[in-house]
C-alpha cells in the first residue's frame, strides 16, 4: 500500500482545477491517495444568456461535484463571489483554516500571472495561508498547525511566463479526465473559448514533449526549486 498522501487543488472557480490537473488528480486518486478540490468561488458570472447568475452558481457546483466524483476526489466550493476574489486577511485565514482541517501534503494552484485577477490572487492566498497554517503560535479554531508545499498548474488564461518544470504522464487517466471535464457546460458549450479541444490538445502536446501519450504539467513557485546540500543533486560524488 505504501504511504498514502493528501493532494489538494486550490483554485478560483469550479472547473479551473479540474481542467488544469484533473488527469493528475485522477492518477493519484486511482493509486489510493486522497484528493480534494477547493474552489474559492463557483465562477458563476460566465453564465449562459438564458440562465441567471444564482442558478448558474448551483449548476457549476453540481457540475464540479460530478466531475470530482469521476476523478475520485472530494469537492468543496466556498461562497466567495466570482470576479471578487481578494487577497486579504479574511480570505487567507479562511483558506489556512481549511488547510489545517483537511491537512493536505501538497497543494496545486494557479500560476501567479493571469489575465484573470481571481486566478492570480489565488496563489498569493495559498502562499500567505502556508505561513498561517504552518505557524504553531497562530491559533486557527483549535486545529493543529499543518505545513504544506505547493506547485503551480497550467491554464490557458495564465500562460505569461509559464514554462513547465514537471511533466506528469497521465496516459492511463486521460479518458477519465475527458469524461470528468465534459460535465461542465462551459467546457462543452462556451462560445468564447474551445475548452475541450484546447485541453485535449494540450494533454497531447505535453505528452509528446514527455514522450508519453498524454501529460499534464506543473511549475515550482518562483525561487522554490533551490537545492542546498553537499553535492550536485542527482550527481553523487
Number of residues that bind Zn ion (CB under 5 A): 3
* 16 sits near Zn ion (criterion: CB under 5 A): yes
Residue 139 burial by Cβ neighbours in a 10 Å radius (0-12, 13-18, 19+): exposed
Q: Which helix (H) or strand (E) holds 166?
A: strand 166-169
Q: Which residues, numbered 124-153, are part of the site for Zn ion (CB under 5 A)?
A: none
User: From residue 163, how far is each of 19, 92, 177, 217 by CA, in Å?
Assistant: 18, 27, 23, 9
Name the pairing type of β-strands 149-153 and 34-41.
unpaired
Q: Which stretch binds Zn ion (CB under 5 A): 16-24, 85-93, 194-202, 215-223?
A: 16-24
Shortest Cβ 43–Zn ion spacing (Å): 5
Shortest Cβ 33–Zn ion spacing (Å): 25
* 100 sits near Zn ion (criterion: CB under 5 A): no
List Cβ neighbours of 234 (8 Å cut-off, separation of 6 or more).
none
Which residue in this structure is represented by grid cell 488547510? Answer: 99
What's the grid cell of residue 218?
A: 506543473
Please identify, using beta-carbon distances, which residue of 17 and 207 lies nearer to Zn ion: 17
Q: Which stretch binds Zn ion (CB under 5 A): 13-21, 57-65, 125-133, 225-233?
A: 13-21
Residue 106 burial by Cβ neighbours in a 10 Å radius (0-12, 13-18, 19+): middle
Q: Which stretch binds Zn ion (CB under 5 A): 5-13, 71-79, 181-189, 206-214?
A: 5-13
Please identify, using beta-carbon distances, which residue of 13 and 34 lies nearer to Zn ion: 13
Q: Which helix (H) or strand (E) holds 39?
A: strand 34-41
Q: Which stretch binds Zn ion (CB under 5 A): 8-16, 51-59, 65-73, 107-115?
A: 8-16
* 12 sits near Zn ion (criterion: CB under 5 A): yes
Please identify, using beta-carbon distances, which residue of 12 and 75 lies nearer to Zn ion: 12
Chain residue whose CB lies nearest Zn ion? 13
* 13 sits near Zn ion (criterion: CB under 5 A): yes
3-state secondary structure of 81: coil
Site of interaction with Zn ion (CB under 5 A): 12-13, 16
Amino acid at each position: 500500500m505504501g504511504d498514502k498522501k493528501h493532494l489538494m487543488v486550490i483554485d478560483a472557480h469550479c472547473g479551473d482545477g479540474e481542467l488544469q490537473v484533473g488527469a493528475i488528480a485522477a492518477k493519484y486518486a486511482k493509486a489510493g491517495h486522497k484528493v480534494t478540490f477547493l474552489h474559492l468561488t463557483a465562477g458563476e458570472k460566465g453564465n449562459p444568456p438564458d440562465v441567471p447568475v444564482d442558478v448558474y452558481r448551483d449548476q457549476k457546483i453540481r457540475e464540479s461535484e460530478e466531475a470530482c466524483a469521476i476523478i475520485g476526489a472530494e469537492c468543496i466550493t466556498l461562497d466567495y463571489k466570482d470576479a471578487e476574489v481578494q487577497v486579504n486577511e479574511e480570505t487567507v485565514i479562511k483558506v489556512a483554516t481549511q488547510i489545517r482541517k483537511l491537512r493536505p501534503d501538497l497543494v496545486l494552484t494557479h500560476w501567479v500571472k493571469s489575465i484573470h485577477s481571481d486566478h492570480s490572487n489565488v496563489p498569493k492566498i495559498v502562499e500567505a495561508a502556508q505561513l498561517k497554517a504552518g505557524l504553531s503560535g497562530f491559533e486557527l479554531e483549535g486545529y493543529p498547525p499543518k505545513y504544506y508545499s505547493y506547485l503551480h498548474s497550467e491554464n490557458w488564461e495564465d500562460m505569461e511566463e509559464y514554462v513547465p518544470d514537471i511533466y506528469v504522464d497521465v496516459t492511463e487517466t486521460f479518458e477519465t479526465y475527458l469524461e470528468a471535464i465534459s460535465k461542465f457546460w462551459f467546457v462543452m458549450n462556451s462560445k468564447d473559448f474551445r475548452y475541450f479541444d484546447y485541453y485535449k490538445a494540450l494533454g497531447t502536446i505535453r505528452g509528446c514533449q514527455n514522450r508519453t501519450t498524454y501529460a499534464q504539467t506543473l511549475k515550482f513557485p518562483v525561487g522554490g526549486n533551490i537545492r542546498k546540500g553537499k553535492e550536485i543533486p542527482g550527481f553523487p560524488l
